[in-house]
Chain A
């Protein structure tokens, strides 16, 4: 039985359980004089029965599915010949990978010996057994749950309270997803990063000036031993983010001021959706635009001016990223500018200040914390932006402050290191996670600081 069919059967069983529970509630209440003598409405007894039937079964099913592949793999490995099992773990992984590919009918690296074939057969066998067993176990659990619920239905049973307690528990579980996501992020980057720092010392990584992650494929190869000094990446990220912010901060801020304080309602009703569209354009589109239009334009302009411009200059990526962030800055600034009470503006106008004097001397200073918070969030966004730089910035890890040269960024390197073959034992792949850890830490600090500032600001005027 496939997973989907099993889920459908479970749903059907839950529906049956609802019906039975409800009927049972009517039955037990009949001698007392009808359903009004029940503690809860009959439907709640049905719901309770359905929950008893479905919830434990689903939990068992999910656990089973998430553990199945590991258990099966271990069983298959333990059935492999002694000499194969004695292989170092990374080689063993390759073997397991091959077996899995054989099972799925994909192309396998290297020759297929009979032992492998046997192992693949065993793998398939175990999978089948597991699927059958899971179906049986899950259905037994479901029926048992239904039985328990059936027996518990009684007029005094506080079915509504129990159902509500279960629902409430579900709500709490859902709201903790955010916490588990954060924990998941931290653990997933931290573990691999720690493994990386086993290969490359932390100080070399954070302070090294040379980045060339290509490792020698064979032991005896010369050169390209891999250097993991991330400073050029940090510098490149900062350079591009800086260019982006020099575009986005003034343009976004002035646009927000204009729309909030000057524009006629008619103009606003055109310009605001335009900015929203700009905000909704996927980053991959910006990346394409940067690579196809902006980068050649800048290079050609540079050639005309006699400047030496790289075809993947930091300027192109930064400019386009700036355009991407404009609506972000302007909508956040718009929020905080609108939060400044009208009474302050009136006070200033009442003294004979012009509109711009009021904005510059009263509104903007009052909104400053909120604007700073918004800009911090924008910086965090620029640092974490991936597609534009992947498509428009280069791979060359130059340590330069010249915006006309090609630089690379943290996110570009994460993508290049992880797209394609991954070997979770080589520092090359693990380096991506170390970079991810740095990226997460920096953006986390920026976000928390920004959110704190914005929150304090909002409280001030609420």
Chain B
């Protein structure tokens, strides 16, 4: 399966067929991979098999096999440039926007191949939302920021429904009480932490199943970070969350499972408590004990 630049945003393709009726069979795990720990879960939301990414002729990630379970928080850690963000961006095909990027392997969301040419990337991204490293609110009002997704997807009819979605999303993101009186003010006027929660609210408003977070707290101060972490914990009830983080403490605090990446490979995956207390791979141990990274 290739997702090359020419296939970027497959919006010109015919409409996708209805979701496959057959039961979702977990892909068999290919033999001979080096990942330590159990990569599969009982109730997978997303699965990835043999996923590799090339940037031009440079290898981004190689042969990543990993399942993401329902309603869990999966943390991905590793030194800079290890490929964890690249893998994250494969999950909702954000890599399509990078011209030189080529993705191979299979990624499934609820059993559907996300690279299937018949699948609409627009639908994929509506179901797999994303929060970026730097808060990137649109230069619009707070209200319009949150209402943007529902409007383009037609999730709300009329002002009243939109209002309801906006309020619910902001409440879930824990921002409602802070901004309820100034919904018409620009989103760019909020503080960094508020902006990031606004971006989370914006993602929630589309009713995704999975939320991808790419180092969501790296631009924030400790108090704002703590607030976001609490929020992630609350969101776990309704969403599957994959978070890339540089902070091991953060991974330990918010996640149930942790995956450790090194030089484009998935080295070890397991229960967070196990990874941090009893890592099985030497590289993992070196990293979490601070010997490099």
Partners in one complex: yes
Known contacts A350-B125, A350-B129, A350-B203: does B9 contact A355 (CB below 8 Å)?
A: yes
For the complex, is A39 an interface residue (Cβ under 8 Å from B)?
no
For the complex, is A169 an interface residue (Cβ under 8 Å from B)?
no
CB atoms of A352 and B152 under 8 A apart: yes
Contacts of A58 in B (CB 8 A): none
Q: SS class of chain A's interface: helix, strand, loop or mixed?
A: helix
For the complex, is B37 an interface residue (Cβ under 8 Å from A)?
no
For the complex, is B108 an interface residue (Cβ under 8 Å from A)?
no
For the complex, is A354 an interface residue (Cβ under 8 Å from B)?
yes
Most buried by A among B6, B124, B152, B153: B152
CB atoms of B134 and A351 under 8 A apart: no
CB atoms of B134 and A352 under 8 A apart: no
CB atoms of B126 and A352 under 8 A apart: yes
For the complex, is B123 an interface residue (Cβ under 8 Å from A)?
yes
A to B CB contacts below 8 Å, 5 in the list: A264-B6, A346-B132, A349-B94, A350-B131, A366-B139
Cα-based distance from A445 to B127 in the complex (angstroms): 50
Which residues of B come within 8 Å of A, CB atoms? 5-6, 9, 11, 92, 94, 97, 99, 122-127, 129-132, 134, 136-140, 148-149, 152-153, 199, 202-203, 206
- Which residue of chain B has the shortest Cβ distance to A350 in the bound complex? B130
Contacts of A346 in B (CB 8 A): 94, 97, 130, 132, 136
CB atoms of B136 and A353 under 8 A apart: no
CB atoms of B206 and A366 under 8 A apart: no
Contacts of A343 in B (CB 8 A): 132, 134, 136
Cα-based distance from A347 to B131 in the complex (angstroms): 8
Known contacts A346-B94, A362-B138: does B206 contact A352 (CB below 8 Å)?
A: yes
Contacts of A362 in B (CB 8 A): 138, 148
Cα-based distance from A185 to B89 in the complex (angstroms): 58
CB atoms of A348 and B138 under 8 A apart: yes
CB atoms of B203 and A351 under 8 A apart: yes
Contacts of B199 in A (CB 8 A): 347
CB atoms of B136 and A352 under 8 A apart: no
Give per-residue flags for A292-328: 1 if the beta carbon is below 8 A from chain B beta carbons, else 0: 0000000000000000000000000000000000000
CB atoms of B92 and A350 under 8 A apart: yes
Taking the closest CB of chain B, its distance from the CB of A370, in whole angstroms, is 12
Give the residue of A341, A345, A354 whose beta carbon is less than 8 angstroms from that of B122: A354
For the complex, is A265 an interface residue (Cβ under 8 Å from B)?
yes
For the complex, is A365 an interface residue (Cβ under 8 Å from B)?
yes
- Which residue of chain A has the shortest Cβ distance to B6 in the bound complex? A264
Taking the closest CB of chain B, its distance from the CB of A350, in whole angstroms, is 4
